[in-house]
Amino acid sequence: MELLTRTLENIQDLNQDAMALAKDRLDNLIKPQGSLGRLEELAIQLSGITGELHPEMDDKAIIVMAADNGICEEGVAAAPSAVTLLMTNFIGSGVSGVRALSKTAGIDVITVDIGVAGEVSEKSVLCKKVKPGTDNMAKGPAMSREEAVKAIEIGIDVATEEIKKGRKILGTGEMGIGNTSTSTAILAILSGLPVEDLVGVGANLPEDQLSKKAAVIRKAIEINNPDSEDILDVLAKVGGLDIAGMAGVMIAGAANGVPVVVDGYISTIAALVAERLDSRVKDYLIASHFSYEKGAKAASELLGLDPMLHMEMRLGEGSGAALALPIVEAAAQMSSQMLTFQETGIGVV
C-alpha cells in the first residue's frame, strides 16, 4: 500500500502554462484555427502532461497484463481458462494480434504474467504473478484487498521501470479469459446500470448464454456486496488482477508525467478504477478505440473520454492502443513540424 499511496501523492495537475503555450502555437500554425480538431486537443494535453511545448512520443510501449479469472468455473466464457496461458506465451513470443499491429509503428510490447493459472514458458514474459488466477467471485471475493493493492503496485513497478528506460508514452493491454465478466461487474457497480444492459459476448460467447453470464455476474455482486464508494473493495471482490495491474500502469504514468493510451473495454474499466483512486489520473489518459463489446459505450461515457477510432474491434491485448499510438505521435509532431504564419514571414492571413 505504501508504494500506491506514495505514487498517488506524486500525481500533479497538468501544466497549465505549457498548455497555454501549446495552444497559442497551434492557433498560429499555417492552417485555419482549430481545423485539426482533436489532434490539437491531444497536442495540448501532451504538453500539459510533459510540461514541454514539443514533447517527443517516439519511444512507445504497450504493457499487456495477463491473468486468469476464477469466475470461468461458472461457464461465462466461450474459451477455456487454459487459453490465457497459451495466449500469454504467444503475445510474449510475438505472434499475436497486438504484436502484429505494433510492428510497423515501432511499438514495443511488454507482457506481464500478473496472475496466469499455470506456468508461462515464454522467457520474455515478466513473471509477476500475484496468484495463479483469482478465486471464483460467484462464491466469494475474487481476491483479498492486499492482493488487489499488490497487483496495482506491480503495474506501477513495471510502468515505472519502462519510464526509467526512456518510454515517452505507454499503452495498456490485457489477456485473461473471463475478464469481460469482471469488467462488467465493476462497471455495473460504478455506473449503477443493470448488468443485463452491459453484458456482452466477449470472445464470442453464444448469444443464448448471455443471460446466464449476466446471472453469474449479478450473483457475484450480491454475494460480495462491495462498497461502491470504496474502489479497492470493488476491485478486490469482483475485479481481476489484469484490471488492477493496468490501473497501476495508468497511475504510474500520471505520477511520472507520461501519457497512457487506454485500449478497449477492460482497459477502460481499469481507467475507471485508477480514476477513483485519484481523479487527476484521467488527465493523463488517452482513449484509443471504441470497443465493440456491449458495455464499452457506457464505460467510456462514465469515464468521460471519447475514443478516436471506430473499428468494431474487441480483441483486447492492447490492439486498439497499438492503432492509436501513431496518431498520438503524429499529434505530438504536428506543432514542431509545422510553421506558424509568423515563421513563414507572411503574417496572419
Active site residues: 317
**If binding is defined by CB under 8 A, does position 237 make contact with a second copy?**
no
Give CA–CA dist 91/89, Å, rounded: 6
Q: Report DSSP state, residue 152.
A: H
Q: What is the C-alpha to C-alpha distance for residues 23 and 216, in angstroms, rounded to an integer?
A: 49
Name the one range near a second copy by CB under 8 A: 28-36, 114-122, 166-174, 217-225.
28-36
Return d(Cα 226, Cα 31) in angstroms, integer: 52
CA nearest to 312, candidates 337, 333, 292: 292
Per CB under 8 A, 61 contacts a second copy? no
Q: Does 79 bind a second copy (CB under 8 A)?
A: yes
Residue whose CB is less far from a second copy, 217 or 332? 332
Of 96-104, 108-116, 184-192, 230-238, which segment contacts a second copy by CB under 8 A?
A: 96-104
State in angstroms the smallest separation of the CB of 308 from a second copy: 6
Nearer to a second copy, 116 or 231 (CB): 116
Residue 345 binds to a second copy (criterion: CB under 8 A): no
C-alpha cell at position 54: 514539443
The SS3 of residue 46 is helix
Is 338 a binding residue for a second copy by CB under 8 A? The answer is yes
The answer to the question of residue 261 lying near a second copy (CB under 8 A) is no
Nearest to a second copy of 41, 196 (CB atom) = 41
Closest separation in Å from C-beta 2 to a second copy? 39
DSSP conformation class of 316 = -
Hey, what amino acid is at 158? V
- 337 lies in the site for a second copy, by CB under 8 A: yes
Q: Considering the rule CB under 8 A, would residue 192 count as an interface residue with a second copy?
A: no
Backbone angles phi, psi at 143, to 5 degrees: -160, 170
Choices 7-15, 158-166, 274-282, 330-338; region in contact with a second copy by CB under 8 A: 330-338
Q: Which of 251, 260, 308, 321 binds a second copy (CB under 8 A)?
A: 308
Number of shown-chain residues binding a second copy (CB under 8 A): 59
Min dist CB 332 to a second copy, Å, is 9
311 touches a second copy (CB under 8 A): yes
Q: Is 309 a residue that touches a second copy (CB under 8 A)?
A: yes
Contacts of 116 (CB under 8 A, 6+ apart): 66, 67, 68, 84, 85, 88, 129, 132, 133
Q: Tell which one of 99, 150, 167, 276 touches a second copy (CB under 8 A).
A: 99
Q: Does 31 bind a second copy (CB under 8 A)?
A: yes
Cα separation, 11 vs 280, whole angstroms: 7
Tell me the three state secondary structure of residue 175: strand
Q: Any contact of residue 330 with a second copy (CB under 8 A)?
A: yes
* Residue 223 vs 330, nearer CB to a second copy: 330
Using CA atoms of 171, 306, 245, 293 in order, give the dihedral in degrees to the nearest 10. -100
Distance separating alpha carbons of residues 155 and 4, to the nearest angstrom: 10
Task: For residue 209, state whether it binds a second copy (rule: CB under 8 A).
Answer: no
Residues 269-288 that bind a second copy (CB under 8 A): none
Distance from C-alpha of 67 to C-alpha of 243, rounded to nearest angstrom: 9
Partners of residue 285 on adjacent β-strands: 260
CA nearest neighbour of 214 among 242, 240, 188:
188
Determine the length of the chain: 349
**Burial (CB count <10 Å: 0-12, 13-18, 19+), residue 110:** buried
Q: Which of 21, 78, 193, 210 binds a second copy (CB under 8 A)?
A: 78
Residues in contact with a second copy by the rule CB under 8 A: 29-39, 58, 78-80, 82-83, 86-87, 90, 95-97, 99-101, 103-105, 202-204, 292, 306-315, 319, 322-323, 326-327, 329-330, 333-334, 336-339, 344, 346, 349
